[in-house]
Amino acid sequence: MLVRWNRLSAKEAAEEISPCCGAVAWARELVERRPFADESSLIAASEEIWFRLNADDWMEAFSKHPRIGERKAPEAASTKSASWSAQEQQNVAAGRAALQLALTNGNREYEEKFGRVFIVCATGRSASEILEILHRRLQNDAATELREAAQEQNKITNLRLKKWLAT
């Protein structure tokens, strides 16, 4: 996969990698660093780029995620990103009705407080675990929460890069 991707035009390479993160600046900078020899060098570069981006870039990536517990991805999300979100949230989808309602209410409270969708790496986590994380993070101040959301987005991006490489 990397050998082929390393050879694509910059435009094609950015379009192909963008569902892994959703921030245009991240995809552009990652493409500019090609060629990559292996998964670990790709992920290291991805993390370095991600944590140097500004809050607007982070918000752009966050905007491509559906709310936790929702099945429909936002219109801004690519088809691949929406598919990955559904896979990542499969444990959440299995939650009971009361838990789903609590997540819906928590999402609304989070969005009212922070002005964006709640970002958490849902892979392998149950709905109740995610609800606990959501309640804890609602106690954060805006700056702390932005950093924590960025760290969660980085985890999601790393998992998606690995999925992408496996295709």
Token pair listed for 4: 């082929």
Angle at 132 between CA 126 and CA 136, to 5 degrees: 145
| Alpha-carbon torsion (30, 31, 33, 38), positive or negative | positive
Q: How far is CA 61 from CA 34, 50, 52, 99, 136, in A?
A: 21, 10, 14, 26, 22
Of 64, 65, 67, 160, the catalytic one is 65
Cα 25 to chain centroid distance, Å, stands at: 15
Q: Is 65 a catalytic residue?
A: yes
Residue in the structure block whose two tokens are 């702390």: 144
Q: Just list the catalytic residues.
A: 65
